[in-house]
Amino acid sequence: TKWVYTFGDGKAEGTAEMRNLLGGKGANLAEMSNLGLPVPPGFTITTEVCTYYYKENQSYPADLKAQVEEALAATGKLANRKFGDSENPLLVSVRSGARASMPGMMDTVLNLGLNDTTVEALAKSANDRRFAFDSYRRFIGMYSDVVLGVDLHHFEEELDGFKDRKGYELDTEMTADDWQAIITTYKAIVQRELGRPFPQDAHEQLWGAIGAVFGSWMTPRAIKYRELNEIPADWGTAVNVQSMVFGNMGETSATGVAFTRNPSTGENAFYGEFLINAQGEDVVAGIRTPQDITEAARIASGSDKLSMEKAMPEVYNELVRIYNKLEQHYRDMQDIEFTVENNKLWMLQTRNGKRTTKAALRIAVDMVKEGLITKEEAVLRVDPLSLDQLLHPMIDPKAERNVLASGLPASPGAACGAIVFNSEDAEIAKKESKPVVLVRIETSPDDIHGMHAAEGILTTRGGMTSHAAVVARGMGKPCVSGAGSIRVDYKAETLSVGDKTLSKGDIITIDGATGQVLIGQIKMLEPELSGEFAALMEWADAARTLKIRANAETPLDARTARNFGAEGIGLSRTEHMFFNEERIVAVREMILADDEEGRRKALAKLLPYQRADFTELFEIMSGLPVTIRLLDPPLHEFLPHTDKDIEEVSKAMGVSEDKLRRRVNELHEFNPMLGFRGCRLAVAYPEIAEMQARAIFEAAIEAGRKTGQKVKPEVMVPLVLSKMELDLVKGRIDAMAKAVEEESKEKLDYQVGTMIELPRAALLADEIAQSAEFFSFGTNDLTQTTLGLSRDDAATFLGNYTDKGILSHDPFVSLDQIGVGQLVKLAVELGQKTRPDIKLGVCGEHGGDPASIHFFHNVGLAYVSCSPYRVPIARLAAAQAAI
Ligand code: PEP
Ligand code: MG
């Protein structure tokens, strides 16, 4: 087997395509070499060696040693040096390089090959003793730290003490003799800590470093990172060994990092930093302030230090030529590392650069205009979920800020609302359509419902990856976490900072962009979407076949959805239209009435509300399809809880509170999610469905007259488990349509369909399709009922399942494709068998999840419906699925 691939001098055994074998860094070094760019010669030990190493009890393939020796010789030949030679030694860097860049892996060992003898040779060839001994002491420190496991602080303390004794401030004051003295103590530290000397043999050094790279693949940090990012352990890492070039050989040498375009704005301008007379880690370590690369950037930053453009004009021009070539070749923004040794430029790395969402959009759109990539490629370049950052309201930059405290900017967007201190209060407020900010010391999975209900979340403890931060980002809710100066008193329901105290109900605003907590309501700006956003979305729309609808019932949601490009409403949850003070009483009245007459009385009160709501929705959606779902109230959400609730309802119904309490007790359920909800309500009390159908049809006529656009409502029956059940409800709907047609003398155009939310409905979808003109998959309930996991309770224990890998991810966030997905597929096939033109969509939360959207595209759904803020994400994800 070939385990080792060489590169250098304008050729390479590998290519960019061999990323799996050579790792990202190795593949790109090979590619740059093939492009004829100046790359210090070297070789890559493949990821297969890493895999072998762990399979074979941490040993190497028998023929690896010979291949490494051969590659070392070839590298030395190109560099005119020899590894381990005392006269003319080849020095190398050793770096890890997995397929995906991976924090937690061993990073870099520089200057490998130096020892007590070769340091003298380096001093002679560079004609600089100070430089040589400085390099040697860096090597001892670095190697001891990352390979031998001697902590760096031992060396740092020694150096600091030495400088103190000498009265030095800066490393630059250290002389060659000083460094030589430091080296003696450094070696003594290694002897003391390990009981053996620092290795002098270059080959021993090299194999130690190679072993350290492979060893770092299995460090807890690396393992954790792989888990979080779903990187399989058997990918392994490669090892890159490359001849050293020195950026610290005086004023004609330098080292730097750059982006071919601005990674935060996307502007097409070369962007980066460099340091004269420095080695790579000096730029990263931030000890010295780096210099700008271009003169334009220097002027913009106001730096008084020379730009590279001025300091090294020829090398700069060469760098510009190379970066342009790299961008043309890779057709993407590059993140490059380079070193200048005695006015000669060397490229050490190139890779596709990380960027903000804003930059990603701009770069993708610019590159299309430049003819570098196609529109389809541009659409594929932007992560749909990342659009979330751009879509939230932000605080008007001109608004005055009364800052109470600051925390971490944990999740983007700004939110304003009354303070509540627990999730129950947040939920109650939501039902009353009152915006709140949930304030907790920390959140736990118990708070998910409260976080959902709140406009934003503020915690006083926890970092960017705390529960609150992670969950809020997932929900697209603004969040400020870890605002440590705030004291929360749950009992008194107050929060205070210094002598300022706010109570439950007081209004605050949180700014998820800066982490600020502000007193009062601050003016917000709706997100302003850039021209690039619009352009990319247009290309996405051209590429996708899935239609995107929104889940919306309020006029605000409907307008937001349209602004974001929704092509209709896929789910209007009518029960959500009743969560306000005056209406909820009538709803409770309806539910608690113990006979039809009582119910009809309550329903008569609800009809005008419903009709007005629907009319407004139809008007806003002007002609686009709108699916309205009949009432699906898990009863527990509607029963009166407090004495005040009971009192109100008893007055409205004219029955005694005692009688009402008995009725509430009768209706209590142990398992409300599997209880008297969905169309079961309409089966028992058809008059409810009739009222809703009337409201829908009358509204359709009214909105049609107002807008001049014919409204074609889609009436949706929830939680169906059989055709006969659907037929019972559908019969009432159709009869009501006839009645309204006769009354209004207008013809109605409507459809009746069903949600597929129960496994039984999926299994019997062919029968159900005889009556249903459309299916909308309610994947929230379908997940709940297929996995037997309560959507309201699972969060408390689901973590065990994802941690242990029993479930690869939270099935309520991203569809369980191998399980629940089978039912979706089956129902699609059965439904189409009965009714080839059946309209198919999804309206569970999964309708806004990119991975799930890929799945829905592949099984042939016509549309996905998601929350309004997810609409752009869904548009982009649907396009990516289609390309
Ligand atoms: C569903 O179950 O997926 C659905 C959309 O309905 P709800 O979330 O209202 O139960
Ligand atoms: Mg449901």
- Domains of the chain, first to last: 254-355 (3.30.470.20), 392-525 (3.50.30.10), 544-871 (3.20.20.60)
Probe ligand 1: pick from 637, 721, 757, 861, max atoms within 8 Å of CB? 757
Which atom of ligand 1 is nearest the CA belonging to 632?
Answer: 9
Q: Which tokens belong to 384?
A: 């749909």
pLDDT in tens, 642-658: 788 888 888 888 888 99
Which residue has its alpha carbon closest to ligand 1 atom 10? 781
* Residue 641 known to be catalytic: no
Which residues in the chain come in under a pLDDT of 50?
A: none
Give the span between the Cα atoms of 77 and 85, in whole angstroms: 13
Question: Which of 576, 843, 857, 866 is labelled catalytic?
Answer: 843
Residue 661 CA to ligand 1 centre (angstroms) = 29
781 CB near ligand 1 (under 6 Å): yes
pLDDT at 446: 66
pLDDT at 764: 98
Probe ligand 1: pick from 780, 842, 846, max atoms within 8 Å of CB? 780
Which atom of ligand 1 is nearest the CA belonging to 571?
Answer: 5
DSSP helix/strand/coil, 753:
strand
* Residue 467 known to be catalytic: yes
| Paired sense of beta strands 751-756 and 774-777, if any | parallel
Opening angle at CA 47, ends 42 and 48, nearest 5: 120
**CB environment 481-499: b (16+ within 10 A), e (fewer):** bbbeebebeeeebbbbbee
Residue 720 CA to ligand 2 centre (angstroms) = 10
Give the span between the Cα atoms of 245 and 243, in whole angstroms: 7
Give the span between the Cα atoms of 647 and 656, in whole angstroms: 9
Residue 264 CA to ligand 1 centre (angstroms) = 38
Which atom of ligand 1 is nearest the CA belonging to 777?
Answer: 3
By CB atoms closer than 10 A (0-12, 13-18, 19+), residue 305 is middle
Nearest ligand atom owner, CA of 572: 1
571 CB near ligand 1 (under 6 Å): yes
852 CB near ligand 1 (under 6 Å): no
Which residue has its alpha carbon closest to ligand 1 atom 6? 778
Closest to 842 in 3D by CA, of 715, 559, 859, 834: 859
pLDDT at 449: 79
In sequence order, what are the residues at sequence separation of 6 or more whose Cβ sits closer than 8 angstroms to the Cβ of residue 554? 576, 577
575 CB near ligand 1 (under 6 Å): no
C-alpha 812, offset from chain centre: 16
Sole residue written with tokens 């050293």: 244
Q: In this structure, is the dihedral angle defined by the CA atoms of residues 409, 410, 412 and 415, taken in order, positive or negative?
A: negative
Residue 21 CA to ligand 2 centre (angstroms) = 46
Phi and psi, residue 256, nearest 5°: -160, 170
Residue 677 CA to ligand 2 centre (angstroms) = 10
What's the chain's average pLDDT?
91
Task: Give the up-direction half-sphere exposure of residue 682: CA atoms within 13 A in the CB hemisphere.
Answer: 26
pLDDT in tens, 375-384: 999 999 999 9
Question: How far is the CA of 380 from the CAs of 248, 268, 543, 883, in angstroms?
Answer: 41, 20, 11, 8
Sole residue written with tokens 């009556």: 771
Q: Where are the alpha helices (DSSP H) in 265-336?
A: 280-285, 295-301, 308-311, 313-330
Closest to 748 in 3D by CA, of 818, 700, 685: 700
Residue 634 CA to ligand 2 centre (angstroms) = 10
Radius of gyration of the chain (CA): 33
Probe ligand 1: pick from 571, 576, 629, max atoms within 8 Å of CB? 571
In this structure, are residues 865 and 551 in contact, taking their beta carbons and an 8 Å threshold? yes
779 CB near ligand 1 (under 6 Å): yes
Residue 826 CA to ligand 1 centre (angstroms) = 19
Q: Which tokens belong to 845?
A: 């939360």
Which residue has its alpha carbon closest to ligand 1 atom 4? 778
Angle between helices 581-592 and 596-620 (to 10 degrees): 140
844 CB near ligand 1 (under 6 Å): yes
Nearest ligand atom owner, CA of 571: 1
Which atom of ligand 1 is nearest the CA belonging to 844?
Answer: 3
Q: Which tokens belong to 846?
A: 């999964």
613 CB near ligand 1 (under 6 Å): no
Residue 629 CA to ligand 1 centre (angstroms) = 10
Which residue has its alpha carbon closest to ligand 1 atom 8? 780
Give the span between the Cα atoms of 100 and 23, in whole angstroms: 7
Give the span between the Cα atoms of 586 and 592, in whole angstroms: 10
| Paired sense of beta strands 839-842 and 436-440, if any | unpaired
4-8 β-sheet, strand order: 11-12, 4-8, 42-45, 237-243, 92-98, 108-112
Give the span between the Cα atoms of 164 and 865, in whole angstroms: 67
679 CB near ligand 1 (under 6 Å): no
Which atom of ligand 1 is nearest the CA belonging to 780?
Answer: 3
Residue 710 CA to ligand 1 centre (angstroms) = 28
573 CB near ligand 1 (under 6 Å): yes
Residue 564 CA to ligand 2 centre (angstroms) = 24
Residue 229 CA to ligand 2 centre (angstroms) = 30
By CB atoms closer than 10 A (0-12, 13-18, 19+), residue 862 is middle
DSSP helix/strand/coil, 153:
helix
Residue 553 CA to ligand 1 centre (angstroms) = 14
pLDDT at 589: 86
pLDDT at 465: 52
Which atom of ligand 1 is nearest the CA belonging to 843?
Answer: 5
Give the span between the Cα atoms of 411 and 388, in whole angstroms: 10
Q: What pTM was computed for the model?
A: 0.81
DSSP helix/strand/coil, 394:
strand
Which residue has its alpha carbon closest to ligand 1 atom 1? 778
Which atom of ligand 1 is nearest the CA belonging to 776?
Answer: 5
Fill in the amino acid letter for 876.
L
Closest to 246 in 3D by CA, of 120, 74, 125, 414: 125
C-alpha 142, offset from chain centre: 34
Give the span between the Cα atoms of 692 and 72, in whole angstroms: 80
Please name every residue paired with 548 in a beta bridge, in sequence order, or none if there are none. 864
Phi and psi, residue 544, nearest 5°: -85, 155
Nearest ligand atom owner, CA of 637: 1
| Paired sense of beta strands 4-8 and 11-12, if any | antiparallel
778 CB near ligand 1 (under 6 Å): yes
Could you say which DSSP state residue 465 is in? Answer: T
Nearest ligand atom owner, CA of 841: 1
757 CB near ligand 1 (under 6 Å): yes
Q: Which tokens belong to 764?
A: 């019997």
385: left (phi over 0), alpha (psi -120 to 50) or beta: alpha
Question: Which of 392, 467, 846, 857 is labelled catalytic?
Answer: 467
Nearest ligand atom owner, CA of 865: 1
Could you say which DSSP state residue 575 is in? Answer: G
The interface predicted TM-score of the complex, written ipTM, equals: 0.99
Phi and psi, residue 386, nearest 5°: -70, -20
In sequence order, what are the residues at sequence separation of 6 or more whose Cβ sits closer than 8 angstroms to the Cβ of residue 715? 627, 628, 630, 693, 696, 733, 750, 751, 752, 753
Closest to 246 in 3D by CA, of 115, 146, 139: 139
Which atom of ligand 1 is nearest the CA belonging to 719?
Answer: 2
141 CB near ligand 1 (under 6 Å): no
Nearest ligand atom owner, CA of 551: 1
Could you say which DSSP state residue 145 is in? Answer: I
Task: Give the up-direction half-sphere exposure of residue 152: CA atoms within 13 A in the CB hemisphere.
Answer: 8
In this structure, are residues 759 and 786 in contact, taking their beta carbons and an 8 Å threshold? yes
500-503 β-sheet, strand order: 487-489, 494-497, 500-503
Phi and psi, residue 537, nearest 5°: -65, -35
Q: Which tokens belong to 103?
A: 């924090």
Which residue has its alpha carbon closest to ligand 1 atom 9? 573
By CB atoms closer than 10 A (0-12, 13-18, 19+), residue 597 is exposed
pLDDT in tens, 504-521: 999 999 998 889 999 999
Phi and psi, residue 865, nearest 5°: -125, 130
By CB atoms closer than 10 A (0-12, 13-18, 19+), residue 296 is middle
Please name every residue paired with 403 in a beta bridge, in sequence order, or none if there are none. 518
Which value, to the nearest 10 degrees, does the dihedral of the CA atoms of residues 768, 774, 777, 781 take?
-60
DSSP helix/strand/coil, 288:
coil
Sole residue written with tokens 């650069």: 353
pLDDT at 473: 64
Probe ligand 1: pick from 576, 638, 755, 782, max atoms within 8 Å of CB? 755
Residue 777 CA to ligand 1 centre (angstroms) = 9
* C-alpha distance across the termini of the chain, in Å: 37
Which atom of ligand 1 is nearest the CA belonging to 573?
Answer: 9
Task: Give the up-direction half-sphere exposure of residue 8: CA atoms within 13 A in the CB hemisphere.
Answer: 22
pLDDT at 774: 98
- Secondary element (H or E) of residue 140: helix 129-143
In this structure, are residues 142 and 110 in contact, taking their beta carbons and an 8 Å threshold? yes
Give the span between the Cα atoms of 637 and 519, in whole angstroms: 32
In this structure, are residues 456 and 477 in contact, taking their beta carbons and an 8 Å threshold? yes
Fill in the amino acid letter for 702.
E
